[in-house]
């Protein structure tokens, strides 16, 4: 599996990574956002969604309690937070598999749906590095290849 790293010195750097990923995003892409509480998953997702919407002030609430929020953006995007997922059947109620085929999906706490994540998913792991963060991207499909090319530019 190919991999790529980016050092994120501050919140603005995390947001820029989200904006860069938005440029490369296509319908059907699935981004798995791993990392502890406060690692920056929602910060990255919010910046990505705002870039897709071309609206820097768009309200992008964390889907902590709703588990999913959907946006009718350039590429329609479903933003999941599975931290509070109680069972696999709840994923069906959320229309998880359908969402993955309609537009793109950003999934916080993808470990909760590990067996349901497509093999083509782009995995983004955010780690604390002192006060800063480090993003490690990996994947084995077109989504990773496209993102890697886009980030290298
Ligand atoms: P998560 O969704 O992973 O729980 P959030 O995005 O909600 O995390 O919160 C991340 C917190 O860390 C926010 O307070 C944000 O300002 C801060 N943050 C994000 N990226 C960085 C960074 N690269 N360096 C330092 N702080 C960051
Ligand atoms: Mg979050």
| Cα–Cα dist 91/107, whole Å | 12
Q: Which two tokens stand for residue 122?
A: 């782009």
**Sequence ranges of the domains in the chain:** 2-152
Which residue puts its alpha carbon closest to atom 16 of ligand 1?
11
Q: What is the pLDDT of residues 83-103, one digit of tens each?
A: 999 988 999 999 998 888 889
Residue 61 burial by Cβ neighbours in a 10 Å radius (0-12, 13-18, 19+): exposed
Please name the fold of domain 2-152. Rossmann fold (3.40.50)
Q: Say how many Å lie between the CA of residue 38 and the centre of ligand 1.
A: 5
**So what's the pLDDT on residue 1?**
61
Ligand 1 contact via 14 beta carbon (within 6 Å) = yes
DSSP 64: T
Q: What is the pLDDT of residues 9-59, one digit of tens each?
A: 999 999 999 999 999 999 999 999 999 999 999 999 999 999 999 999 999
Tell whether the model's pLDDT for residue 3 goes beyond 90.
no
Which ligand gives the minimal distance to the CA of 134? 1
Q: Nearest to residue 90, comparing CAs of 62, 118, 109, 104? A: 109
3-class DSSP assignment, residue 21: helix
Which ligand gives the minimal distance to the CA of 82? 2
| Cα–Cα dist 102/5, whole Å | 29
């Amino acid at each position: 599996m190919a991999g790529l790293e980016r050092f994120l010195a501050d919140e603005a750097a995390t947001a820029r990574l989200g904006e860069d990923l938005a440029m490369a995003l296509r319908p059907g892409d699935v981004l798995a956002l791993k990392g502890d509480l406060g690692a920056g998953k929602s910060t990255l997702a919010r910046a990505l969604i705002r870039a897709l919407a071309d609206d820097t002030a768009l309200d992008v609430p964390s889907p902590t309690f709703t588990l999913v929020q959907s946006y009718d953006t350039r590429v329609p995007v479903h933003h999941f937070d599975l931290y509070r997922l109680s069972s696999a059947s709840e994923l069906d109620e959320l229309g998880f598999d359908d969402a993955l085929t309609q537009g793109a999906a950003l999934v916080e706490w993808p470990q909760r749906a590990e067996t349901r994540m497509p093999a083509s998913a782009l995995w983004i792991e955010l780690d604390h590095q002192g006060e800063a963060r480090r993003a490690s991207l990996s994947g084995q499909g077109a989504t990773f290849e496209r993102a890697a090319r886009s980030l290298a530019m």
